[in-house]
Structures are given as C-alpha cells and as structure tokens.
Amino acid sequence: MKILSIETSCDETACAIVEDGHKVLANTIASQIDIHAKTGGVVPEVAAREHVLQMIPVLDECLKEASCDWDDIDALAITKGPGLISSLIIGTETANVISYVKNKPLIPVQHITGHIYSNWLDLDEEIEFPVLILTVSGGHNELILMKDHHQFEVLGESRDDAAGEAFDKVARILGLGYPGGPIISKVAEDGNASAFDLPRAYLEKGSLDFSFSGLKTAVLTIVKKYAKTKGFEIADELDEKFKADLAASFQEAVVEVLTKKLYMAFQKHPDIKEVHLAGGVSANIRLREVISEKFANEVVFRHPKSIKYCTDNAAMIAASAHFLYKDSPEKYKASSNIIPTTSFEIF
Ligand code: KG4
Ligand code: ZN
C-alpha cells in the first residue's frame, strides 16, 4: 500500500511516498532554514507564505522521485497538528483538495506520532512492543509508552521548554545562529563538558517530567557575567573557547537529564522490549551515544535510521498513517475536510 503524505507543521514543506509503512519511495523537503536564520527563528507568517510557494513544486517533485502517478497512490496522509496554525492550514487545505479531486481517502496524523513512526522507516525487521519512546523536538518533549500500534500513554512531558527549544535558545544566547541543535553539537566538539557546573532539574522524586528553562537561564547568567567582566556588548564577541566549553557543558546537562529520566521510566516498566529516540534532537550524536551505553545489554535501542528522518519530514507521517489505515480503512474517506489543530491531543 502506497501512502502520499504532506507535512507543513512548522518550517519544512515536505511530501513523501511510503510503501507499507516503512519503504520510502520519495522523501522531498523544501527547507526554509536560510530564510529563518536571518530572523534567528521561525516567523509564522513568513513560514506560511513560503509553504504556499513550495507546496505544489514539492508535490510534483515527490511523485517524480518515486516514479508514481496519482493512480499508484492508495491513500493520502496529512499532519493535522500540533504545529503553527498558519503553516498547518497550507498543508491541510492542499490535502483536502487533492483528496476531493483525486477521490483518495485522507488520514489525519498527529505530528508527534509521526516522529514516533520515524523509527519504522527503512526498517526490515519487526519492532517488538511495548516500546518506550523519548520524543525530543523543538516544540515537544515527552516520555511515551507505546503498547501497540497507535496505543500511547504519556508518562512524562516538559513543563516548560522542550529540549530542542533549549538548544535553540542557548545557541541564540551564544550568538551561534539558527537552528541551535546542530550548531551547538558541532561547537561542543571542541569544548570541555565539565568546564561549567550547570544545573540539572530532576523535579520531584520519581517525576518523569522535564524542565529545561532553569538550565537556559543559568547559561544566560554565565554569559552576562562573562561579557561584563570582558566589557563585551554582544554575544558575537564571545571567545571561541568560552563558547565551546559552555555549549559542551550545556549539551552534557541536557543529555544527562534526558538519559536518566528515560532510564527511570524503563525501570518502572520492566516489560519494555525496545527503547526508541525520536524528534529533531534524536539527531544529536552525544545523546545517542550516552543512551546507547546506558541501555547496552538491557534492551534494543533504536533511533531513526537516517538524520533526515529525525527532523520534520513527511515520510514519518505516511508511516504513522499506514498503521492507522491498515486495520480500519473504512474510517478514512475522501473529501473528509480535515481541520488543523494546535492541540497536542491524539492518543
Ligand atoms: O522535530 P523537529 O524537527 O521539529 C519539531 O517538531 O519541533 O525538531 C527541531 C529541533 C530544533 O530545536 C533543533 O535545534 C533540534 O531539533 N535539533 C537538534 C539537532 N538537530 C536538530 N538538537 C540537538 N542536536 C542536534 N544535532
Ligand atoms: Zn517535529
């Protein structure tokens, strides 16, 4: 079964064609990173206007890349939310129109479940349930117990900044640019992760929730103090060694908290067969390394097979849709008119 999916929840205009929930025939993305780098973050109206320009060319390219025409497509999938509402509207309206004109069933997908299913992409073997998932994105940060396909229980979540958001904000404080995650991890390679003693928020005893805003503030305080002693006005003037040490110390603090909470959740659910990492921050090499060491000899650990499946993409949306559609195709009709939502509700 071939599903064509569209994802426009934030700043990537993405379209994919995926067969049977794992075989990626095409995964086309028009990134807006260069546009948003100028403003140091995503301006929603700018993102939406860019989606309008990119949507049809991305769709055309996707069909071409997969050597498919519309008759080959069994169903359509669309990110319904959560995300930036003006961006979501462009994707959902496009999908609604195609569903009507081409008479194809349309499957609405919750974005985070897409990230969860990114671990199914390009995978040949079967995944064993229950799976414990750490979702680490720019907008969301959760610990999720997945008992079977599309059966989720949220065990913990961020009470303030998500991990990716903290990476982006700290990169901004250090004058490193946007998006922060990949830049921080690159700069951190030359830094000493023990150089700064940064706080780790574990919250109440036994809590599986996260909080990264205190860590971000601690970084800001250190930068302000350092700049003052040096007489600097702006982050651009910060010394390279200082930036590398602070980036490495920050990354280590985030990785340590994420790994410890993931392990705590694992210990509370002894029947867990696999541990998965998903979302943009799953691209972080240090995070993968530390989790993989922690779970070695304990349980199967997976992260998305390719970096392009970590950050927003449409292939993951098609994979999630496949497992919704497979067992209940009658639930999904053509012309069903999907209304986007900013709400996290899904499960
Ligand atoms: O999942 P995603 O593409 O978008 C949301 O759904 O939010 O995640 C984007 C986030 C950004 O905050 C970005 O800085 C972060 O993922 N990210 C990383 C890395 N690559 C992307 N964070 C840490 N290390 C990375 N290598
Ligand atoms: Zn995402």
Q: What pLDDT digit, counting tens, does each position of 223-278 carry? A: 999 888 888 776 667 899 999 999 999 999 999 999 999 999 999 999 999 999 99
Q: What is the DSSP string of 135-204?
A: EE-SS-EEEEEEEETTEEEEEEEBSS--HHHHHHHHHHHTT--SSHHHHHHHHHTTS-TTSS-------S
Whether the CB of 182 sits within 6 Å of ligand 1? yes
Whether the CB of 304 sits within 6 Å of ligand 1? no
pTM of the model: 0.95
Residue among 311, 312, 342, 344 to mutate when testing ligand 1 (max atoms within 8 A of CB): 311
Whether the CB of 181 sits within 6 Å of ligand 1? yes
Half-sphere exposure of residue 101, counting CA atoms within 13 Å on the CB side?
7
Preceding amide of 270 cis, omega within 30: no
Task: Quote the pLDDT of residue 38.
Answer: 83
Q: What span, in angstroms and rounded, lies between the C-alpha atoms of 303 and 282?
A: 7
Gyration radius of the chain's alpha carbons: 20
Beta-carbon count within 10 A of 266 CB: 17
Whether the CB of 161 sits within 6 Å of ligand 1? no
Task: Quote the pLDDT of residue 236.
Answer: 66
What are residue 306's phi and psi, to 5 degrees?
-130, 145
Task: Quote the pLDDT of residue 63.
Answer: 98
Strand partners, 26: 17
Task: Quote the pLDDT of residue 336.
Answer: 82
The structure tokens listed for 101 are 């004109």
Q: What span, in angstroms and rounded, lies between the C-alpha atoms of 136 and 130?
A: 19
List the pLDDT tens digit at each of the 347 positions of the chain: 999 999 999 989 999 999 999 999 999 999 888 888 888 788 999 999 999 999 999 999 999 999 999 999 999 999 999 999 999 999 999 999 999 999 999 999 999 999 999 999 999 999 999 999 999 999 889 999 999 999 999 999 999 999 999 999 999 999 998 889 999 999 999 999 999 999 999 999 999 999 999 999 999 999 999 888 888 776 667 899 999 999 999 999 999 999 999 999 999 999 999 999 999 999 999 999 999 999 998 999 999 999 999 999 999 999 999 999 998 999 999 988 999 999 888 65
Residue among 118, 178, 281 to mutate when testing ligand 1 (max atoms within 8 A of CB): 281
Query: In this structure, which amino acid lies at residue 99?
Result: S
Closest by CA position to 268, among listed 215, 322, 206? 206
Beta-carbon count within 10 A of 28 CB: 23
pLDDT tens profile 134-154: 999 998 899 999 999 999 999
